[in-house]
């Protein structure tokens, strides 16, 4: 099967309208792009899919619409969003047939890592990884199948999150496990958040005016990962075989010793599946704080003296710094450290703590700039050899570009 690279469209390409889909088990979030100029025409979401009263929201310019209706599945969700996009008065489409394709920010394809038109083979490869990505792959597979049935002539494209990390050297992505397991079951450090890290690589090259920069991309949010980037390519990342690994997430455990599992199972009487479910839903910041997986709630509780919440923040910061240090060694230093994601873009305290005490490495933050920044900007001090950036990420435009590439492969 041919693998397709992501390339920005040229100015002489005809208009191509691409709907980018980001799915949850009961949600459908989307953006509609005109890829002739990469302009976002509309964005929206359908929440509570499967309920009798689902919420269908869209924003087009200054117009916003919200409808309550029954949306039994993701196929109906797409129909609902297309109805809003073709609204006679405010819509941006005359007819749903104007959409050239739907691009999915797919998660784990195992033996398939790249950008592919959705076929039976692609769905089969995703299903093989259901156990590794139980919160992500099954909803995507179900939605893709439903959309294929309802929109038989509409191309669907899967842009896998693992694709950006294929350039990582073998020494940094292989586990020290029996080789037959690695080869037969595709067990290795795949890495995720690929669309976000790819966007940061592309945008940082534009801002620095060079494509050979050493960049550490810190995508910090509900789920978080760091990626070391050189010459625009991923050379190290924190997430491994599954999105459960690496840094502590909002409610996912992050890195964890698998040999602790037998002890937990023995002492609690839980099954392996139940234990993994708790690690995936009651771990991370939620598990450490005992209060919340939302870092805003955790910070507020820590300010009020809650010890568990303070511990959660301390562990989160220390894990970021531990991986940051490894990436500085791998890169031989950094030309830029970039913060993105909900936490990376909005949490000055976390950014400040991550960068504190790194003057010997040429990393010096400007505290006042860090506290007051908004949008895409720097916050390093004049004496810093490493540029410190906040760059709001745009995963959707990356998927839109990849979708165009899949429609018109070289």
**Structure-model confidence comparison of residues 191 and 134, the more confident one:** 191
Residue 140 has pLDDT above 60, yes or no: yes
pLDDT-based confidence at residue 92 (cuts at 50, 70, 90): very high
Give the helix/strand (H/E) hosting 90: none
Question: Is the CB of residue 156 less than 8 Å from the CB of residue 148?
Answer: yes
Q: Identify the pLDDT of residue 299.
A: 98
Give the pLDDT confidence of 156-203 residue by residue, as tens digits: 999 999 999 999 999 999 999 999 999 999 999 999 999 999 999 999
Residue in 157, 113, 108, 104 with CA at minimum distance from that of residue 131: 108
Residue in 165, 160, 191 with CA at minimum distance from that of residue 406: 160
Write the CB contacts of 124 (distance below 8 Å, at least 6 apart in sequence): none
Which residue has 């010890």 as its token pair?
307
What the chain holds in terms of domains, given with CATH numbers, is 17-160 (3.30.420.40), 209-390 (3.30.420.40)
Give the pLDDT confidence of 17-65 residue by residue, as tens digits: 999 998 877 888 999 999 999 999 999 999 998 888 999 999 999 999 9
List for the chain the helix, strand, coil content (%; round to 5): 40, 20, 40
- Region 256-265: mean pLDDT is 98
Task: Write out the two tokens for 233.
Answer: 């390519």
Q: Identify the pLDDT of residue 9.
A: 43
Task: Write out the two tokens for 51.
Answer: 């309920």
Residue 189 among known ligand-binding residues: no
Q: Identify the pLDDT of residue 13.
A: 55
Residue 29 among known ligand-binding residues: yes
Q: Give the 3-state secondary structure of residue 113.
A: coil
Residue 396 has pLDDT above 90, yes or no: yes
Give the pLDDT confidence of 360-370 residue by residue, as tens digits: 999 999 999 99
Give the helix/strand (H/E) hosting 283: none
Range ranked top by mean pLDDT from 43-57, 70-84, 373-387? 373-387
Residue 130 among known ligand-binding residues: no
Residue 302 has pLDDT above 50, yes or no: yes
pLDDT-based confidence at residue 4 (cuts at 50, 70, 90): very low
Terminal Cα distance for the chain, rounded:
14
Write down the H helix ranges in 253-380. Answer: 261-268, 272-281, 284-289, 295-303, 307-331, 341-346, 348-355, 367-372
Residue 294 among known ligand-binding residues: yes
Q: Identify the pLDDT of residue 232.
A: 98
Give the pLDDT confidence of 217-259 residue by residue, as tens digits: 999 999 999 999 999 999 999 999 999 999 999 999 999 999 9
Q: Which stretches of 48-126 are assigned E, i.e. beta strand? A: 54-60, 63-69, 99-104, 115-117
Residue 344 among known ligand-binding residues: yes
Judged by average pLDDT, the poorest of 73-77, 164-168, 180-184, 267-271 is: 73-77
pLDDT-based confidence at residue 14 (cuts at 50, 70, 90): low
- Region 291-311: mean pLDDT is 97
Q: Identify the pLDDT of residue 93.
A: 93
Q: Which stretches of 184-224 are assigned E, i.e. beta strand? A: 214-219
Residue 295 among known ligand-binding residues: yes
What is the C-alpha R_g of the chain? 22
Q: Identify the pLDDT of residue 11.
A: 46
Residue 296 among known ligand-binding residues: yes
Residue 346 among known ligand-binding residues: yes
Residue 340 has pLDDT above 90, yes or no: yes
Residue 345 among known ligand-binding residues: yes
Cα torsion through 48, 52, 58, 64, rounded to 10? -120
Residue 342 among known ligand-binding residues: yes
Task: Write out the two tokens for 404.
Answer: 């165009």
Residue 12 has pLDDT above 60, yes or no: no
Helices 194-208 and 395-407 sit at what angle, rounded to 10 degrees?
100
Task: Write out the two tokens for 44.
Answer: 């929206």
pLDDT-based confidence at residue 207 (cuts at 50, 70, 90): very high
pLDDT-based confidence at residue 409 (cuts at 50, 70, 90): confident
Helices 307-331 and 295-303 sit at what angle, rounded to 10 degrees?
120
């Amino acid at each position: 099967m041919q693998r397709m690279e992501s390339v920005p469209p040229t100015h002489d390409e005809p208009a191509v309208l691409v709907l980018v889909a980001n799915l949850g088990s009961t949600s459908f979030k989307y953006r509609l792009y005109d890829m002739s100029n990469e302009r976002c025409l509309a964005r929206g979401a359908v929440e509570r899919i499967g309920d009798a009263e689902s919420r269908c929201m869209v924003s087009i310019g200054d117009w916003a619409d919200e409808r309550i209706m029954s949306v039994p599945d993701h196929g109906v969700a797409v129909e609902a969003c297309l109805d809003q996009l073709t609204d006679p008065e405010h819509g941006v489409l005359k007819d749903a047939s104007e959409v050239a394709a739907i691009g999915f920010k797919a998660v784990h394809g195992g033996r398939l890592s790249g950008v592919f038109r959705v076929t039976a083979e692609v769905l089969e490869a995703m299903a093989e990884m259901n156990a590794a990505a139980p919160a992500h792959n099954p909803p995507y597979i179900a939605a893709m199948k439903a959309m294929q049935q309802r929109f038989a002539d509409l191309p669907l494209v899967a842009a896998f999150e693992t694709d950006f990390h294929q350039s990582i050297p073998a020494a940094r992505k292989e586990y020290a496990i029996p080789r037959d397991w690695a080869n037969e079951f595709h067990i290795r450090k795949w890495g995720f958040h690929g669309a976000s890290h790819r966007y940061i690589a592309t945008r940082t090259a534009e801002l620095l005016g060079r494509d050979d920069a050493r960049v550490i991309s810190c995508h910090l949010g509900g789920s978080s990962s760091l990626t070391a980037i050189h010459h625009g390519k991923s050379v190290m990342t924190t997430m491994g075989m599954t999105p459960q690994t690496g840094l502590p997430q909002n409610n996912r455990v992050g890195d964890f010793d698998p040999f602790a599992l037998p002890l937990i199972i023995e002492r609690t009487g839980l099954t392996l599946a139940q234990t993994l479910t708790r690690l995936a839903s009651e771990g991370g910041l939620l598990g450490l704080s005992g209060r919340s997986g939302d870092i805003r709630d955790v910070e507020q509780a820590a300010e009020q003296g809650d010890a568990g919440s303070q511990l959660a923040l301390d562990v989160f910061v220390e894990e970021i710094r531990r991986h940051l240090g490894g990436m500085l060694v791998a890169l031989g230093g950094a030309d830029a450290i970039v913060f993105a994601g909900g936490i990376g873009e909005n949490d000055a305290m976390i950014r400040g703590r991550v960068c504190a005490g790194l003057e010997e490495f040429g990393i010096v933050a400007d505290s006042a700039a860090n506290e007051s920044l908004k949008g895409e900007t720097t916050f390093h001090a004049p004496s810093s050899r490493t540029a410190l950036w906040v760059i709001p990420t745009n995963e959707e435009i990356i998927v839109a570009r990849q979708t165009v590439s899949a429609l018109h492969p070289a």
